[in-house]
Homo-oligomer: A and B are copies of this chain.
Amino acid sequence: MIGRRDRTARPERRAVPKRVDHDLRRRQIGEALLRIASTRGLQAASMREVAAEAGVSLRLVQYYFHTKTELLLGALAYLGEQLSARVEAHIRALGLPPTPRSLVYGTLTAILPTDAESRRLTRTYAAYYALVLAEPALAADHGTTYPDALERFLAGHLRTAQAAGQVDPGLDAPTAAAGLLALTNGLGSSVLGGQRDGDAALAILTYHLDRLFGHQPGSGEAADSARSAAGDLTH
């Protein structure tokens, strides 16, 4: 209503106005924060530290993120993108055609801290989790929608596996899916806490998946192929 900027629609007219790419700069700064959060925690991620990590001045961090809350939320959005991108890539790397078991397995192993990248992602996620616990106003809803979607995704493929006779049809799929996700998250916490290493956690997760999917005759072979697939993920 006010201004009517769209009267003369120039081709150069963009949301990012003139000189530099704002989205790019924001991403550069936001990922600098994520890098600090993954190694030294969010407490160490002051605006000055983020500026130094990103190689820009403090003023620039303020320029692209007017306040610290905005910076934290922006970086959290980037973290969510990285996490879901990893899950997708991880599933795709398990080969075609995707079986229900490989989809469940790929999803859960993607969020288990077994390599450097997943450790970085889960560590950063844990840092944000603690921050949200202390300051619930930051959460908005990013904290519940994504795990809920993951659970529905897992439950759907568990049901498919039940229909294919690969999983006990007496199983309650949503409850089992929630349990698998909680199991994986709990295992991840134990890895980050130093209680065991990523391989041990992966072995425990694989064991439980074998018990779930090894319900039809010939389950031994299925367990073996799953275990070799687990080996492929580590290198």
Contacts and interface: CB of A to CB of B under 8 A. Distances in A.
Interface stretch (A46-54, A85-93, A188-196): A188-196
A22 interface: no
Nearest to A148: B195
Interface string A163-194: 00000000010010011011111110110111
B127 A123 contact: no
A134 B41 contact: yes
B130 A130 contact: yes
Contacts of A204: 175, 178-179, 182
A40 interface: yes
Nearest to A200: B178
Given A136-B194, A147-B193, A179-B204, 16 more contacts: A41-B134, A43-B134, A129-B130, A129-B189, A130-B131, A143-B193, A175-B204, A175-B208, A178-B196, A179-B183, A179-B207, A182-B182, A182-B185, A182-B189, A182-B190, A186-B189
A144 interface: yes
Contacts of A186: 181-187, 189
A126 interface: yes
Contacts of A195: 143-144, 147-148
A132 interface: yes
Given A186-B181, A207-B175, A41 B194 contact: no
Contacts of A189: 129, 182, 185-186, 189
A178 to B, nearest CB: 5
A139 interface: yes
A135 interface: yes
Contacts of A41: 130-131, 133-135
